[in-house]
């Protein structure tokens, strides 16, 4: 590597880091004050990029038009943030934290479809920055002047944010609310207005990050989730709530990615940031400049779990069993999907509910189980039955490795690390053409003859997924399950009575991963094919939505959530092109009306009416 190319890649990396820093700073600011992990932050970035594109078209490709467009786009995205805060989030600040997460997922869906409706599905390539399109020669190489400007913008925004937070009353209120928002309210500060203003600033930063990228990156509909994953990584590597940390992390990751591209390892770009995150978190569990959270204020403790009563379960099983007798092929296929996703959701619930470890990357085990089944069958030539039985254990092995790292962390940091492992798995699957056929996926993954009928396969699915769910539920009411719940509610006390909490959490992680793998393998053979989307962030968020929709505090919630989500998605997708937005709106309504999830909400209604 020559000195010149080193410098050029460094500059490339620094230019990319600016936008990454802006969006992460906004995410971190919002999280600090409102405790909401805003999954829609990547969507706001995407809107900034699209908005800048349209505004430049409207205002003209002159320097004045360009910069007005960038600033107006950022401010408009800020207003979108205000609308989100006022219309949705303000109503659910008292709801459990995870439910707010569900609401932001729904917003991701809505924004994606709004963008689809307004800007279409084609990538939109913006103009180069007027007046700054000329290249500058550095060490004999050319680099766009605009990139040099971007390198300056990052630190300028960092300084501006620092001044705002350290030198203004607003900044003092924000920092105070980050620590103890109830006390800030008791001192006469209107939290609602403070939160709205924080959302505005956070959204402007995301919008600006997106708008500034218009000369470098085409606007496209996949940016929302890819940017949010990047922003999570940056925030966590830097340390939640630390602006300086976010800047450092953005530079580290931007530069690392640039070096990967510059030196011909472009395949590594998808993985490198997650490797950095894994390394940082294992060495510094709160990120580079982060501190352990000062006061973790949780909401009310989760109510004790009730074991399912026998008769309703039997009734449900009978109802499930008669489905193929209806003779409707579509319903049988739908019910097969629901059974797979129910096991997937129950296995996710197992670790995030009773064990208290929220996973943003549970699709890793579902997808790896699916791929393991398909590969054992197609490449290793095993009989389908054997492949199906072995596949969950392959997923379980990955859970052994990933889980070892994850259980060392807790809370948001743990969630982000699970996301990182899922994203690493996804990019390996996506890029390893020889083994996994890359983005095309594997086809011809069909079950054996005796299972080839839809009803036969459905019964097998019902049996395997039912057993898996029964096993997980049984475990929750064994001493193992009690230990997990004790560890969730008071980790220190659990350890003080001699429980090796990490070992139990690790075991729970592996058990849940194995059964998610079973769900994936059963799913793969039911479809006859498998694609990388089964390992994707979208699949992970689907699982989260299922669990949260049903209610994380109930046992049967995830099953109900999986059924309703799968059915709704299927039905809406057949009715309208904009099914995501429709689904998002339905989820938002549920979130606002039933803040404990569907099953929890119905139980609360029942409890209220019963004495009357």
Query: Which residues are at the interface with another protein (CB under 8 A)?
Result: 169, 172-173, 175-176, 178-180, 182-191, 294, 300
Least distance (Å) between residue 250 CB and another protein: 23
- Is residue 142 exposed (0-12), middle (13-18) or buried (19+ Cβ within 10 Å)? exposed
181 or 257: CB nearest another protein: 181
The size of the chain, in residues, is 612
| Backbone angles phi and psi of 9, in degrees to 5 | -65, -35
Least distance (Å) between residue 190 CB and another protein: 5
Least distance (Å) between residue 294 CB and another protein: 7
86 or 116: CB nearest another protein: 86
Task: Give the SS3 label for residue 442.
Answer: strand
Tokens for 368?
Answer: 């790896």
Least distance (Å) between residue 292 CB and another protein: 13
CA-nearest of 358, 362, 379, 338 to 523 is: 338
Least distance (Å) between residue 590 CB and another protein: 25
Tokens for 24?
Answer: 């992460």
C-alpha–C-alpha distance, residues 524 and 447, integer Å: 9
Q: Which DSSP letter does residue 241 get?
A: T
- Report the C-alpha dihedral over residues 477, 483, 487, 488, rounded to 10 degrees: -10
Least distance (Å) between residue 34 CB and another protein: 16
96 or 532: CB nearest another protein: 96
182 or 500: CB nearest another protein: 182
180 or 328: CB nearest another protein: 180
Task: Give the SS3 label for residue 497.
Answer: coil
Contacts of 202 (CB under 8 A, 6+ apart): 26, 27, 29, 30, 38, 41, 81
Element (H, E) at 242: none
Tokens for 259?
Answer: 């070096």
CA-nearest of 26, 21, 24 to 84 is: 26
On whether the CB atoms of residues 276 and 256 are closer than 8 A, the answer is yes
Least distance (Å) between residue 187 CB and another protein: 5
91 or 408: CB nearest another protein: 91
Least distance (Å) between residue 171 CB and another protein: 9
């Amino acid at each position: 590597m020559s000195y010149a190319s080193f410098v050029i890649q460094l500059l490339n990396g620094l230019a990319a880091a600016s936008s990454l820093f802006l969006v992460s700073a906004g995410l971190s600011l919002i999280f600090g004050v409102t405790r909401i992990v805003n999954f829609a932050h990547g969507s706001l970035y995407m809107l900034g990029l699209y908005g800048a594109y349209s505004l430049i078209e409207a205002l003209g490709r002159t320097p004045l038009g360009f910069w007005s467009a960038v600033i107006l786009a950022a401010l408009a995205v800020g207003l979108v943030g205000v609308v989100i805060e006022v219309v949705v989030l303000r109503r659910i600040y008292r709801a459990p934290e995870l439910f707010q997460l569900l609401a932001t997922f729904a917003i991701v869906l809505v924004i994606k479809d709004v963008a689809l409706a307004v800007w279409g599905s084609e990538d939109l390539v913006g103009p180069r920055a007027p007046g700054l399109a000329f290249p500058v020669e550095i060490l004999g190489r050319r680099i766009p002047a605009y990139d040099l400007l971007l390198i300056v913008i990052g630190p300028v925004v960092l300084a501006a944010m620092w001044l705002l937070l350290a030198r203004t009353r607003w900044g003092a209120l924000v920092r105070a609310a980050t620590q103890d928002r109830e006390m800030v309210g008791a001192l006469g500060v209107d939290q609602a207005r403070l939160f709205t203003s924080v959302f505005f600033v956070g959204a402007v930063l995301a919008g600006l990050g997106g708008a500034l990228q218009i000369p470098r990156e085409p606007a496209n509909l996949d940016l929302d989730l890819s940017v949010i994953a990047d922003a999570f990584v940056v925030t966590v590597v830097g340390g939640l709530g630390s602006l300086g940390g976010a800047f450092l992390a953005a530079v580290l990751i931007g530069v690392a990615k640039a070096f990967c591209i510059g030196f011909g390892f472009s395949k590594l770009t998808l993985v490198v940031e997650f490797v950095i995150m894994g390394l940082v978190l294992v060495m510094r569990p709160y990120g580079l400049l982060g501190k352990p959270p000062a006061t973790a204020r949780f909401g009310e403790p989760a109510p004790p779990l009730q074991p399912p009563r026998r008769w309703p379960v039997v009734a449900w099983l009978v109802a499930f069993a008669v489905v193929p007798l209806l003779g409707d092929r579509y319903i049988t296929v739908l019910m097969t999907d629901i059974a797979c996703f129910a096991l997937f959701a129950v296995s996710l619930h197992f670790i995030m509910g009773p064990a208290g470890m929220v996973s943003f990357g549970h699709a890793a085990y579902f997808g790896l189980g699916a791929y393991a089944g398909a590969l054992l069958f197609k490449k290793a030539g095993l009989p389908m039955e054997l492949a199906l039985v072995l596949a969950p254990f392959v997923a379980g092995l990955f859970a052994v490795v990933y889980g070892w790292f994850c259980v060392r962390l807790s809370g948001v940091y743990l969630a982000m690390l699970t996301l990182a492992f899922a994203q690493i798995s996804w990019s390996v699957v996506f890029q390893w053409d020889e083994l996994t056929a890359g983005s095309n996926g594997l086809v011809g993954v069909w079950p054996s003859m005796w299972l080839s009928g839809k009803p036969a396969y459905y019964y097998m699915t019902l049996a395997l997924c039912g057993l898996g769910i029964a096993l997980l539920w049984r475990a929750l009411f064994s001493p193992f399950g009690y230990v997990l719940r004790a560890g969730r509610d008071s980790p220190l006390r659990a350890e003080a009575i001699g429980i090796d909490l990490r070992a139990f959490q690790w075991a729970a992680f592996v058990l849940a991963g194995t059964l998610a793998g079973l769900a994936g393998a059963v799913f793969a053979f039911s479809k006859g094919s498998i694609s990388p989307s089964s390992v994707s962030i979208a699949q992970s968020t689907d699982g989260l939505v299922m669990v949260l929709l049903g209610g994380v505090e109930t046992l049967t919630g995830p099953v109900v959530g999986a059924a309703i989500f799968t059915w709704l998605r299927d039905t809406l997708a057949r009715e309208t092109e904009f099914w995501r937005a429709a689904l998002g709106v339905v989820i938002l309504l549920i979130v606002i009306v039933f803040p404990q999830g569907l099953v929890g909400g119905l139980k609360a209604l029942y409890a209220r009416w019963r004495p009357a």
